[in-house]
Structure 1
């Protein structure tokens, strides 16, 4: 049914719609106006720099970061422990440079992407209608590096003066092990001269409202097991063939993996507390122009495994299991490690950062997050590996933390994104943490306020 709207009523309705529309636009504009929009724009610019392995554009990223430092009047220098792999180090000098400094650590490289499996180009930093910022590195971990900078920007604008010096480092190669980045950094006299007291590094997103924080991580052991034996006809059954021995090893490893996985599934252990074992590759057979020779049992077979060992585990016991059960010499088997990171320090203690009263930085972190309106989950062991392990091995307290609550875990995944509101809230969280850390002085185990100096 059709009906006519009187002209006067039509005018008033149009006016109401116009006012409502203006109100909505004003509301949207205010949520992203001025500083917030600029903060997001800078984040997008950093995300748009293609620093994906295996050919990261490190120099473009370094130029961008040095430009940010200049805009904030921060001291900056670019160091290459390995040629072609620059680390950018920024400094905000403290009023008491004799106090141990704060290191806000991040890495500039990101993992590769399968372009055809993304909704948007992974280096476009596209923001959709829900405020999701799609980009490789949006969670891992360009977000954290830029949040550090934005938090410093806010603190400077507020007139805050740190007591402790604050360093921001942007390092290369974390995604391929960090050996030429953090690995070289921690071994250098350069780091020792910085007089670092505490390190902040990356964490993981949290699907719920509570932030996740990490005090340790699992050490990567990359294991190769090789079985040998006399070759034989494909129809022959005989003992100690290479394939048969490797299959026995795989079955033993599978049972161990299942036992560890059961502990996680039943809630008896968190993911970071179990020993994970996953096969990375399997190699065997005799190649032929059309594939493999099917009527010949090969004389060699090999498999590679990615093992992650938590600091709470007994590494000596695991090594015995490998030597005696997974790859016994009695079955013509050998093994070696492509990589074998230490689980304990030289004194046999787990390589972890304490989360009790013996570590004042932990209490400061908890207080600062709470003051900024955040909540923390129970501290965890990181299930994978980050550059934090290099600093912890040097005896430095290092905390893994990325302020991403109510966010799916998408690091290394297709369509990695971070919501703009979560990102902006993270800036506030870091502002609170940095302020607390930079204001802290310890004297005989007691905390002193800035006013007492």
Structure 2
């Protein structure tokens, strides 16, 4: 009898071991498929200024079809498609959830990368090198993989879930998110909360953003003066006047940066000013004319204002100190967006427990073992600003912990383990958001349930 019992125990143990191996093999296969799909998306070259959007559209639609999502392709501007995917919820009258990402990426200087920037090469550490691996093709695919997992386990959303893939975010989103958010198509979605991109975190804590500094103030200062021989010494040449202005501007930049270095302010709490181009001289096929002082010289600057900055004061400084007419200087803004709404209120989303969307987001991340920094202001601009201008809650979040911040940098990469972990994080957030039922008294809503 003992031998019989021992035999049954052995069989039971072997069965459990075999099931465990089978599950592990299946899980490993699924993970390989997820990573393969991520690499496929990264290999599509959608770099500005000539992004190839249609292969990306085809790829995303293929994924949507395999998951079972409703599909729309909207084109407010020719050849700049907005992809809208939908999973209808039971209570269609409740505000919906929108998961947004952009399909374009910035250019890459491939000769300065260790791996070709659109190869999606995975090294022995599991690091996947590609332009867009952090900014932000990872997020778009993680949304879809999270929805695939929720579908597979039989989840039925209460709220409708939308996923948008928009073009041209890297060139300010004028023909992408701005057109979409201002459309009747967007109005019909009845959006209650939006998730958009965030940043990687070098430590174990995820970062969530509830607002951002101003979208770019792209300033160009121009100096003019009489041309002269390269050997001649004279006052008020174009180059002399421009360099005086650059020196003054860089002193302002240094003063702002010193506050960050000293720990007296975070990056998002200061005004950043960074030179992005210098333009002067008379070009030749092999360089520049070296014995001619030019009659014009220009410099360009990317400026981002903190939420508390005084925009009028900065404009006065530009006119009187940075580009004064007395030094034959002029200036213009190539781009200039407000950081506040028409009532002068900063464009932010409440990120405390008075906002149920924040509470749900925080709880979902903690539930799956994630850790959080305190909510932050994003240092640059994202498409989330367009929905915040409409008074809609929006959080910037990219689940990348223990990852160097490499957006727009050479050798941008994301580790496969962090990518897979992020899918699970989004799965928890989406499930929580889509199940949220605030106090509802409307009879039509109740009848839907």
1:407-429 CA-to-partner distances (Å, cap 9, x unmatched) read: 11122222222111111110110
Task: Give the CA deviation at 1:151.
Answer: 0.8
> CA–CA distance in 1 between the matches of 2:22 and 2:117?
29
1:194 is paired with a residue of what secondary structure? coil
1:87-117 CA-to-partner distances (Å, cap 9, x unmatched) read: 1110001111111111000111122222333
Partner of 1:335: 331
Partner of 1:94: 89
1:407 is paired with a residue of what secondary structure? coil
Aligned residues: 424
List runs of 5+ in structure 2 lacking aligned partners.
Answer: 1-17
**Residues 212-223 of structure 1 aligned to structure 2 (within 5 Å):** 212-218=207-213, 219-223=215-219
Partner of 2:171: 176
Partner of 1:359: 355
Give the one of 360, 377, 386 matched to 1:381: 377
Partner of 2:14: none
> CA–CA distance in 2 between the matches of 1:299 and 1:365?
57
1:342 is paired with a residue of what secondary structure? coil
Partner of 1:7: none
> CA–CA distance in 2 between the matches of 1:364 and 1:372?
13
Contact 1:202–1:386 under 8 Å retained in 2: yes
Contact 1:51–1:58 under 8 Å retained in 2: yes
Partner of 1:105: 100
Partner of 1:209: 204
Partner of 1:136: 131
| Residue 408 (1) aligns with residue 415 (2) | no
Report the CA distance shift for 1:228/1:49 in structure 2 as closer, same or farther (over 3 A).
closer
1:149 is paired with a residue of what secondary structure? helix
List runs of 5+ in structure 1 lacking aligned partners.
Answer: 1-22
1:227 is paired with a residue of what secondary structure? strand
Report the CA distance shift for 1:182/1:293 in structure 2 as closer, same or farther (over 3 A).
same
> CA–CA distance in 1 between the matches of 2:60 and 2:288?
52
> CA–CA distance in 2 between the matches of 1:122 and 1:245?
40
- Root-mean-square deviation over aligned CA pairs: 2.5
Partner of 1:119: 114
Report the CA distance shift for 1:289/1:368 in structure 2 as closer, same or farther (over 3 A).
closer
> CA–CA distance in 2 between the matches of 1:425 and 1:307?
35
Partner of 1:58: 53
Task: Give the CA deviation at 1:339.
Answer: 0.6
TM-score scaled by length of structure 2:
0.88
| Residue 155 (1) aligns with residue 117 (2) | no
1:27-72 CA-to-partner distances (Å, cap 9, x unmatched) read: 9964952322222222222222222223322111111111111111
Contact 1:311–1:352 under 8 Å retained in 2: no
> CA–CA distance in 1 between the matches of 2:36 and 2:286?
54
Task: Give the CA deviation at 1:358.
Answer: 3.7
Contact 1:230–1:242 under 8 Å retained in 2: yes
Task: Give the CA deviation at 1:438.
Answer: 0.9
| Greater shift in the superposed pair: 118-127 or 87-96 | 118-127
1:285-313 CA-to-partner distances (Å, cap 9, x unmatched) read: 45567755555544322211111112222
TM-score scaled by length of structure 1:
0.87
Task: Give the CA deviation at 1:200.
Answer: 0.4
Partner of 2:431: 435
Give the one of 303, 321, 336 matched to 2:299: 303
| Residue 265 (1) aligns with residue 261 (2) | yes
Give the one of 255, 261, 265 matched to 2:251: 255
Report the CA distance shift for 1:249/1:419 in structure 2 as closer, same or farther (over 3 A).
same
